[in-house]
Structure 1
Amino acid sequence: MNINGTIRGTDRFLDWMKHTPARLDVGRAGTRPLTQEMLKFRLDHAEAVDAVYGEVREETIAEFGLFMVETQYRDKEHYLKYPDSGRTLTEEGAQVLALRCAPRPQVQIVVSDGLSAKAIDDNLADVLPALRDSLAANGLAEGTPFFVKGGRVGVMDDIGRLLNPEVLVLFIGERPGLVTASSMSAYMCYRPVPGRKDSDRMVISNIHANGTPPVEAGAHIGTLLRKMIEQKVSGVKLEV
């Protein structure tokens, strides 16, 4: 390759590095990564582990007046080995919803730790107020929000069975990686009930400071929920 070609190739590679947080051109010393890069890798790995095994701060839950119910997750190890345990509420949790939640709400908001407690701590304070503003702007009424400990995405179907909402949005921590441990997803479904398929749901993922901005996500979710109610569908059938 000539000199000009080499420069163009280098410029292209440097441009890629500006647009991705992935580990590119980290360098090495002999056969191993540079010490600084190895330490950064270990730090990112530790943050991911802490996100999975951590607990959402009580202050985060209390700030928005959320009460807590639990799935059949039992403990973190069981939850990680048996995903189905996070898709159904305990009998006590179901009874609490019957006592404290408005039945048949238009919009049911649920928050869950999922696989990253840090995602909820870092993003809920921005995304939830933005969503509430968007619901008001779109003429939608909110039900009784609450927090689910040990939840998986499928728990929205069990909640749908119990509360019969028109639409449900679930904020849940995503599986952390080595780029960020703070990523949250928002799953939405029209008339969620047991047996719903993944194609019946919609999702906005990578909600965090360096991904989809939480405020933007909250604003967009309200518009999507209105369209779901108008069209009476969600997932791949929704015309956006």
Structure 2
Amino acid sequence: MDKITAPDNEPLNFLKEFTKARIAIGSTGTSIPTKQWLAFKMAHAHARDAVYSAMNSDVMAVQLAEFKLPVLQLHSRADSRPQYLQRPDMRRLLDGYSANRLADQVTGNDVAIVIADGLSAMAIHENVLALLRLLIPKLIATGLKMAPVSLVQQGRVAIADPIGDTLCARLSIILIGERPGLSAADSMGAYITYNPKPGLKDNARNCVSNIRPGGLPYKVAADKIFYLVQEAFKRRLTGVELKDNEGLLTQ
């Protein structure tokens, strides 16, 4: 009979306090215990569900009303989830209706907040309101002029570029569902871009990722985003040239 190593006896068990990664799961011969195999399969199913989950824009628009900012419900050129997953070019651009609706908005704003489903609408529904309750008051308190909040279905990070450009925003922040992992299907990321415009590459952005109760706490994330926004306006740039020096020791 194969020897069974109980997870409770694993020498690396103490590391579970610091990570949700699959470590110290035990073994049964040359394989893993059935319980751990079933947990892996369940996590994979949750990840697939997150990728194919749909954002309820109507519900989100009602919830976002608490911030007393106009909310625009927009859509990328990807008209279905399969097309979204297969055509990255179409999820970077707005469809015709959305582009026309944006063009009718008042321009000349400081910050444009964009919310997109990305690869996990679940992450948006579970995390975005809690983060914005901390972040938006910080931005408004500094006197920044807020553009309407753009709520985008079937969007990816780069879709904030044409939105920010059309709104003549000096900076865009897109909150988006991140690619699900096998330990987290509810992770949200924030991407900050100074002077957003079509054609920018990812090296023009700063990212704050893994925003969720089991990852980066909302207050820490809001403080980090606010710090990067302040530095972006001060230095007039974001991306690889904008380093996150917050909290570093000074000589």
TM over 0.5: yes
**2: CA distance between counterparts of 1:132 and 1:149?**
22
Which one scores higher on RCO, CA 8 angstroms, separation ≥ 6? 1
Q: Is 1:126–1:215's contact at 8 Å kept on the other side of the alignment?
A: no
**2: CA distance between counterparts of 1:238 and 1:42?**
40
**Corresponding residue of 1:64:** 64
**Corresponding residue of 2:6:** none
Within-5 A mapping of 1:40-59? 40-57=39-56, 58-59=58-59
**Corresponding residue of 2:181:** 177
**1: CA distance between counterparts of 2:157 and 2:191?**
7
Q: Which one of the candidate residues 222, 232, 237 is aligned to 2:236? A: 232
**Corresponding residue of 1:29:** 28
Range 156-165 or range 182-191, more displaced: 156-165
Q: TM-score, normalised by structure 2?
A: 0.85
Q: Is 2:208–2:224's contact at 8 Å kept on the other side of the alignment?
A: no
1:199 is aligned to 2:213: no
Q: Which one of the candidate residues 70, 91, 99 is aligned to 2:96? A: 91
The 3-state SS of whatever aligns with 2:145 is coil
* Structure with greater helix percent: 1
**1: CA distance between counterparts of 2:242 and 2:23?**
38
The 3-state SS of whatever aligns with 2:152 is strand
Gaps of 5+ in 1: 1-9
- Number of residue pairs the alignment of both structures matches: 229
**Corresponding residue of 2:3:** none
The 3-state SS of whatever aligns with 2:157 is coil
Q: Kindly report structure 1 stretches of 4+ aligned residues shifted beyond 6 Å.
A: none
Q: Which one of the candidate residues 77, 83, 88 is aligned to 1:78? A: 83
**2: CA distance between counterparts of 1:55 and 1:63?**
16
Range 52-61 or range 86-95, more displaced: 52-61
**Corresponding residue of 1:213:** 217
**Corresponding residue of 2:15:** 16
The 3-state SS of whatever aligns with 2:36 is helix
The 3-state SS of whatever aligns with 1:64 is helix
**Corresponding residue of 2:108:** 104
**2: CA distance between counterparts of 1:137 and 1:20?**
36
The 3-state SS of whatever aligns with 2:84 is helix
Gaps of 5+ in 2: 1-9, 66-70, 246-251
**2: CA distance between counterparts of 1:139 and 1:82?**
39
Alpha-carbon shift at residue 214 of structure 1 (Å): 2.0
Q: What is the CA deviation profile of residues 200-235 of structure 1, one whole-angstrom value per residue up to 9, with x for unaligned ones?
A: 111101111111112321232123212211211111
Alpha-carbon shift at residue 143 of structure 1 (Å): 1.2
**Corresponding residue of 1:119:** 123
Report the AA paired with residue 17 of structure 1.
Answer: K
**2: CA distance between counterparts of 1:63 and 1:236?**
34
**1: CA distance between counterparts of 2:206 and 2:215?**
18
Alpha-carbon shift at residue 141 of structure 1 (Å): 2.3
Give me the identity figure in percent: 35
**1: CA distance between counterparts of 2:76 and 2:83?**
12
Alpha-carbon shift at residue 192 of structure 1 (Å): 0.8
Within-5 A mapping of 1:112-151? 112-151=116-155
Q: Is 1:106–1:166's contact at 8 Å kept on the other side of the alignment?
A: yes
**1: CA distance between counterparts of 2:34 and 2:116?**
37
